[in-house]
Amino acid sequence: MNIYPIQMGMTCCYIIHDKGTIMVDSGPPNKLGNFIKNMKKLSIDPKQIKLIVNTHGHYDHIGSTRVIKDATGAHIAMHAPDKEWLEKSINPVIPGVNTWGKILAKLSSKPKITETTVNIRLGDEDFSLAPFGIPGKVIYTPGHTMGSVSILLETGDAFVGDLVMSGFPLRLNPGLPIFAEDIKRVKESIRKLLDRGVKTFYPAHGKPFSAQIVNKFL
């Protein structure tokens, strides 16, 4: 299995390739050119991507979904209620958890999101990625938003969106998100993933880090 991080503006998205190919998150608006450039570097035909799983509905994760969907023909998977943010072009306020998060929340822009239909409405139960050629599942992990999900592969790699963060300017070191609708549920979701055997966390902001590091700061 190959895991390819692709930087889409402030957000790190991921291409996961095994027997099939999927994408995790689609970045902020206006990143189609960035996406195509990365696909050329990886020698991957965009049409190989059959599924885009958006971990949640904030603009920096869904802003380019429509244009990438059109370029790839991929299906879009999201959990309710976040899927409505993409389908109805809703850009909600991101609540800060700590002082720095509250400051950044006030300073953050609210770019328009081009709406598109979500093909697969994820529920609270696990969603198998086997039909898309990927040995893993989508797991419901609310807290950052109430519609947040994570992708857990059989290898122990977990793609968690903003369930944890590690990159400047959001955080200096790996830790809990500085934005969250319910920080208690964030911690519960992290423990859920740890109990499911996660070895490495892949955040959307910052570099991947081990489950041992997560155990320490949790």
For residues 77 and 100, give the distance between their C-alpha atoms in angstroms, rounded to a whole number. Answer: 31
Helix (H) and strand (E) counts in the chain: 7, 12
Answer CATH for 2-217 from 3.60.15.10, 1.10.260.40, 2.120.10.30, 3.40.190.10 = 3.60.15.10
Q: Are 217 and 176 in contact (CB under 8 A)?
A: yes
Please tell me the predicted confidence (pLDDT) of residue 94: 84
Please tell me the predicted confidence (pLDDT) of residue 105: 86
Phi, psi (5° rounding) for residue 76? -110, 130
The dihedral built from the CA positions of residue 175, 80, 96 and 189, taken in this order, carries a sign that is negative
For residues 155 and 166, give the distance between their C-alpha atoms in angstroms, rounded to a whole number. Answer: 22
Q: Using DSSP, state whether 193 is helix, strand or coil.
A: helix
The continuous run of DSSP H or E covering 210 comes out as strand 209-210
Q: Using DSSP, state whether 8 is helix, strand or coil.
A: strand
Q: Which residues on adjacent β-strands are paired with residue 128?
A: 137
Please tell me the predicted confidence (pLDDT) of residue 138: 98
For residues 101 and 177, give the distance between their C-alpha atoms in angstroms, rounded to a whole number. Answer: 9
Instruction: Determine how β-strand 120-122 pairs with β-strand 200-203.
Output: unpaired
Helix (H), strand (E), coil (C) string for 107-159: HCCCCCCCCCCCCEEECCCCEECHHHCCCEEEEECCCCCCCCEEEEECCCEEE
Please tell me the predicted confidence (pLDDT) of residue 212: 96
Instruction: For the chain, give every domain's residue range.
Output: 2-217
Give the pTM.
Answer: 0.96
Digit-by-digit pLDDT tens for the chain (218 residues) are 999 999 999 999 999 999 999 999 999 999 999 999 999 999 999 999 999 999 999 999 999 999 999 999 999 999 998 999 999 999 988 899 999 999 988 888 788 999 999 999 999 999 999 999 999 999 999 999 999 999 999 999 999 999 999 988 899 899 999 999 999 999 999 999 999 999 999 999 999 999 999 999 98
